[in-house]
Amino acid sequence: MIRTLALVLAASAALGGCAMTGDEVAVPGSDVRTDLAAVHAAAVADSRRLPAEVARDPLRKPADMLALMRLAPGQAIADIRPEEGYFTRLFAPAVGPEGHVYAFVPNQTAQRENGFADTMASVYPNVSRVTGALEAMTFDRPLDVVFMGEEYHDFTIPRFNVDVARMNAAVFAALKPGGLYVILDHQAADGAGISVSGTLHRIEAAELRRQVEAAGFVFDGESDAVRVPADDHSLSVFDESIRGRTDRFVHRFRKPG
């Protein structure tokens, strides 16, 4: 029995033998069907995750993030600018050996971050590093999901020199029809647009949505799991009084088809 299936069944048992009342998926190479909640629980419980990253789970809500993107065994997902790999280490066990995770490192940060992605690829056989221009990102198979975790705002900062419209078009082209583009980021004040991306490292959700929809995507859902109403959006996300506890939004967009 493949390791992913064993983890899924173990997670199901840990959850009290939960009935398949949510989304069900077939495990590749088997006639077993499993609940996505069990797949995601197994990914969160994976023993290869780093203790420092597990400690961040109460604030980052990984099971909720995986549920929003409907990540399933056998899928292909790109993690755009994964940095140290908090989310890549969740995606790899979730998609299993029949799936694949592309750790995409932008050219702008490759010197510092290629090593992080190479380390993850050495631990997870279904992870590979891809380095390139955000505006021209391509992969060797159509993708089910593209994910950006607290990175989109950086790409709107002029010093990054990213054509965001072309980047979103490249994501659109890389996805299968019906594929999902999921973006997690720090919320800016209403009306701020991208004006504080380089100072507070925040972006207004409405402006991000406008940019992504302009590429042809359809807004397909969101989660309140990482919203923090007490954050008034006035501080930098690196301010020690709020770091790690900012108000964040996560939006799901779908490629029509």
pLDDT at 34: 62
Checking if the pLDDT of 235 tops 70, the result is yes
Residue 103 CA to residue 101 CA, distance in Å, equals 6
The domain made up of 49-254 is a member of CATH 3.40.50.150? yes
Q: What confidence category does residue 130 fall into, taking pLDDT thresholds of 50, 70 and 90?
A: very high
* Residue written as token pair 């993850």: 120
Tell me: the pLDDT tens digits for 66-119? 999 999 999 999 999 999 999 999 999 999 999 999 999 999 999 999 999 999
pLDDT at 13: 35
**Which run of H or of E encompasses 223?**
strand 218-223
Q: Closest Cα partner for 104 from 65, 66, 68, 135?
A: 135
Residue 13 CA to residue 7 CA, distance in Å, equals 10
Query: 223 or 3: which carries more pLDDT confidence?
Result: 223
**Residues ≥6 apart with Cβ < 8 Å to 231:** 187, 242, 245, 246, 247
Tell me: the pLDDT tens digits for 5-61? 344 433 333 333 333 334 655 554 444 446 899 999 999 999 999 999 999 999 999
Whats the size of the chain, residue-wise?
257
Query: 121 or 31: which carries more pLDDT confidence?
Result: 121
Q: What is the pTM of this model?
A: 0.88
* Residue written as token pair 């979103």: 168
Checking if the pLDDT of 197 tops 80, the result is yes
Tell me: the pLDDT tens digits for 137-194? 999 999 999 999 999 999 999 999 999 999 999 999 999 999 999 999 999 999 999 9
Checking if the pLDDT of 122 tops 70, the result is yes
pLDDT at 35: 83
Question: Of all residues in the chain, what percent carry a pLDDT higher than 70?
Answer: 87
